[in-house]
Amino acid sequence: MTMEILKTFLGWCLVINYGVLIMWAIVLMTGDWATRLHSGMLRVDEARVREMHYLLMGQYKLLIFIFNLAPWVALWLMA
């Protein structure tokens, strides 16, 4: 696998992962249906569900930085 292919692969992974993160945020901001759904499934207060969602979104963003953005930037700087 060449550096160019790996750089392209990580770039597309970055785009897809940020797309998922943005869609997740839009779903939580546009309505309470997702919060109510998860609150009912987990039998947890809606405020706690929102807190869990934001915590998980932060962790997901951190993982994107570590596993997609940092290697992509390193490959870009090496080229």
Token readout for 72 is 């992509």
pLDDT at 31: 83
Nearby residues of 38 by Cβ (< 8 Å), 6 or more positions away: 44, 49, 53
Q: How high is the mean pLDDT of the chain?
A: 95
Say how many domains are in the chain: 1
Domain residues for the domain of 67 are 3-78
- pLDDT tens across the length of the chain (79 residues): 899 999 999 999 999 999 999 999 999 999 889 999 999 999 999 999 999 999 999 999 999 999 999 999 999 999 8
Report the predicted TM-score, pTM, of the whole model to 2 decimal places.
0.88
Q: pLDDT tens digits, residue range 16-34?
A: 999 999 999 999 999 889 9
